[in-house]
Amino acid sequence: MDTVVLASGRGSNLRAICRAIDDGKCKARIVGVVSDKRSAEALEFAEARGIPTRVLPLKKGDDRDQWNVDLTDHVASLNPELVVLAGFMRILGSPFLKRFPGRIINVHPALLPSFPGHNGPRDALDAGVRVTGCTVHIVDDGVDTGPIIAQAAVPVLPDDTPETLHARIQVQEHRLLPAVISRIAVGEIELNPLKMKAAHTDPSKYLSVPEV
């Protein structure tokens, strides 16, 4: 399954996906990595692996609509069956969402719908929850609001800082995201937003994602 990964940062999720592919546990092929940040470590990793990369920076004062069109056109030129947001810190505009309807997934460091936005681990600590985790969901036009595909729970420990908690969450992200991609690739998860919503009202349809 040809997959494009969008990443702005460290790229540990991209690495986890590639590890699962190398181990034969995920039948995906990364056909491109795109970033809004030239300095993203994800790009360095992708280049070292021979994956085509592209940087589309969005600076203050830039035309956001044009950036969205450029991003959409570039990703479309790679013909992906799936688009994965792995730490992509930009909100995608409607041209992008319309071009890949229901085929964009995101990994978020909290148990949505709790703690959407940029500070999932910090917000969970501030709220005093004892359990948080990560979520893989379909991207819609809200911020971290799309239908949930799978989640993994992580305990919050008494001495946690946002950093230690995030690190513990990432261990789960690195197992959950490749597992979801793998199941999409073999057709075990169908990216139909309506069916995803239905899964929430019918416990027999809850998705359990085995480790890859």
Taking the least distance from each CB to ligand GRF, the nearer of 3 and 170 is 170
Place of tokens 């991207």: 139
- Could you say whether residue 19 binds ligand GRF (CB under 6 A)? no
| 4, 5, 6, 12: residue in contact with ligand GRF (rule CB under 6 A) | 12
Convert residues 85-124 into a mask of x (bound to ligand GRF by CB under 6 A) and - (unbound): -xx-------------------xxx---------------
- Alpha helices by DSSP H, the chain: 12-22, 41-48, 64-77, 94-99, 120-127, 162-185, 193-201
104 DSSP β-pair partners: 83
- Could you say whether residue 133 binds ligand GRF (CB under 6 A)? no
| 170, 179, 180, 189: residue in contact with ligand GRF (rule CB under 6 A) | 170
Q: Among the options 74, 108, 137, 166, which is catalytic?
A: 108
Q: What is the CA radius of gyration of the chain?
A: 17
- To ligand GRF, the closest distance from the beta carbon of 110 in angstroms equals 8
- To ligand GRF, the closest distance from the beta carbon of 202 in angstroms equals 27
The secondary structure of the chain in percent helix, strand, coil, rounded to multiples of 5, reads: 40, 20, 40
Q: Please report, for residues 43, 166, 175, the alpha-carbon distance to residue 182 in angstroms, rounded to integers and kept in the order given.
A: 22, 24, 11
